Every structure is written in C-alpha cells, then in structure tokens.
Amino acid sequence: MEIWINPACSKCRSALSLLDAEGAEYTVRRYLEEVPGEEEIREVLERLGLEPWDITRTQEAVATELGLKEWERNAGTRDRWIAALAAHPKLIQRPIITADDGTAVVGRTEEAVRDALSRRTDV
C-alpha cells in the first residue's frame, strides 16, 4: 500500500493517522517532491477508475492560470489533463492510496481510507 501525500494537508495527516491506528503497512510518497510522471498518473487513474479531471484540484492558483475550468473533459483532451497533472503535481487531489489488490482510492474521508484498508493483504 502506498499513500501519496502533501504533509501540509490535513486530510493527508488524518489518513496517515487512521492507517497507523489500524496497524497498516504502507509507504509514504510525498508526491510534490517525488513527482509522478504521465505514465504513472495513467496507471493510478486506471486503478482509481477515474478520469484526470476527477482528481484535479481546480481551485489551485495554477489551475486558474492554466484555465482548467474551461478545458473540455473528454477522451480527446485526456492526455492534456494528464500532462498538466505531471507538470503541476499540486493539482493532484490528495491523498491517493494505492491498495494491495491493485485498486486505489482518493482518501479524503475516513470511509475511503477504510475502504483501502479493507483491501490490504498484510493482515
């Protein structure tokens, strides 16, 4: 299990606390420092079952600069969105937890983190 975090994010800290309380084995990835590339973002999107615009933080200043809210959301623009996430990792929703069963969740709620925990194999 790996969790992509921004240490300044309260949702990330809450997710880590819950993982620790449940005794989960996991690896922390500070994705603003260890930036995922486009291929890795594609893989995580597949695991999440989401599109890039579904995990984009459109309220970030860089999102406004790029005009993301006006970007089309379809198969033809998917690569453009992924490239923006790779170039500006601050746009990636957090935390993202990759579960042991090959799936992933955006762990912004306790329920989502528990969902990822239910898929672990280290129990």
Hey, which residues are catalytic here? 9
41 membership: H or E segment, kind and range:
helix 38-48
Residues 6+ apart with CB under 8 A from 12: 3, 5, 6, 94, 95
Q: Is 92 exposed, middle or buried (0-12, 13-18, 19+ CB in 10 A)?
A: buried
